[in-house]
Amino acid sequence: MELPVIDLAPYLEICSDELDSHIKSMCLEVSRTLRETGALLVKDPRCTAEDNDKFIDMMEKYFQQPEEFKRLQERPHLHYQVGVTPEGVEVPRSLVDEEMKEKLKAMPKEYQPSSPSGPDPKWRYMWRVGPRPKITRFKELNSEPVIPEGFPEWKCTMDSWGYKMISAVESVAEMAAIGFGLSKDAFTSLMQQGPHLLAPTGSDLRRYGKEGTVFAGYHYDLNFLTIHGRSRFPGLSIWLRNGLKMEVKVPVGCLLIQAGKQIEWLTAGECMAGMHEVVVTNRTTDAIKRALEQNCSLWRVSSTLFAHIASDAVLKPLGHFSDSSLASKYPPICAGEYVEQELAVINLKGNKGA
């Protein structure tokens, strides 16, 4: 099975709230695919392959810096919500969540995730995207960004790619809302001034390029929607709602969207948070060989952005989803409080769950 690619261009071109049958069918396709797979491929004319390459080029250059340089951007007292998170800090939920462990044992062998031996061997950089609320109960989730020395293009590149990806998420959120039978702004109105995070990861394939190495253990994302540009090294697998495991192939110029826990909350489980992992596969090792031949970087960079519901907004089933028989499983809670609870479950407030 391949994920469908949704071209956002026709939706972006509409000039009124009146939607023709083609746009409505696109919206239904977005909501159906998110419901069934927890993921979606999109093509957005505002987010080009060149934009993605420029961003990855800079992040490769950064992650190649010595460890002592990168640790200058570490902010553990802010729960790693800004700046760099070193390898060995993020702990996959599948290692610490006993309920999840039991579910994994019950899965058919061929669909079971890889078993990590400890914390993820990847670095991550967290960069806030978008305006912050002037008044908020969740200050550390809305902290000032950290800029490494020697990268004059850093802020411009991070902001440019971050804002473009947020724009793509907002369009998908509108289309999903329409497809789910909600108002167009049902989701996006709650995203305003959210603690959106551009959060690229860096994995050193020279050290950790052996097939079977787990870079991101089996987990779901705790935010609203996650968006990725295409990585130069494959390795991401997702689990569909029916339990099947699928390796994701992102075409050049496309973006991958994944459902997080907050959209599950807002739809009373109609759209479940997608489970996924990143593991070195035979396709990854093939890409490593090609990179060596071409003298290219062996850092696997993911251009990941976590789009969040605003910290002070209330998560609860929206519209007709409040009448769902499952609505009681999703009681009202502030999004910021929910994020803090999720991080506390895994005993490490630095873990982004993604």
- Give the chain's radius of gyration (CA, Å): 19
pLDDT at residue 97, as a whole number: 75
pLDDT at 347 over 70: no
Helix, strand, coil shares, percent, the chain, to 5: 40, 20, 45
The token pair at 344 is 């506390």
pLDDT at 226: 97
Model pLDDT, residue 91 = 80
**What pLDDT score was predicted for residue 28?**
97
Q: Is the pLDDT of residue 233 over 70?
A: yes
Q: Is the pLDDT of residue 268 over 70?
A: yes
Least confident interval from 21-30, 129-138, 158-167, 299-308: 129-138
Q: Which pLDDT value is given to residue 144? A: 75
**What value does the mean pLDDT take over residues 237-252?**
91
The mean pLDDT of the chain is 91
φ and ψ at 324, to 5 degrees?
Answer: -65, 150
β-pairing verdict for 39-43 and 5-7 = parallel
- pLDDT at 349 > cutoff 80: no
- Mean pLDDT score, 59-74: 97
pLDDT digits (tens, 9 = 90+) for 95-148: 777 788 888 888 888 888 988 888 889 999 999 998 888 888 887 655 678 999
pLDDT, residue 80, reads 84
pLDDT at 2: 82
Structure-token pair, residue 236: 């991401």
230, 49 in Cβ contact below 8 A?
yes
pLDDT at 351: 40
Q: What is the pLDDT of residue 350?
A: 39
Mean pLDDT, residues 233-258: 92
The tokens describing 120, both together, are: 């993820």
The structure tokens 């003298």 sit at 295
Which of 89-93, 160-164, 206-210, 271-275 comes out lowest in average pLDDT? 89-93
pLDDT in tens, 172-185: 999 999 999 999 99
pLDDT of residue 98: 78
* Residue 57: exposure state from Cβ atoms within 10 A (0-12, 13-18, ≥19): middle
Structure confidence at residue 263 (pLDDT)? 98
At residue 300, does pLDDT exceed 90? Answer: yes
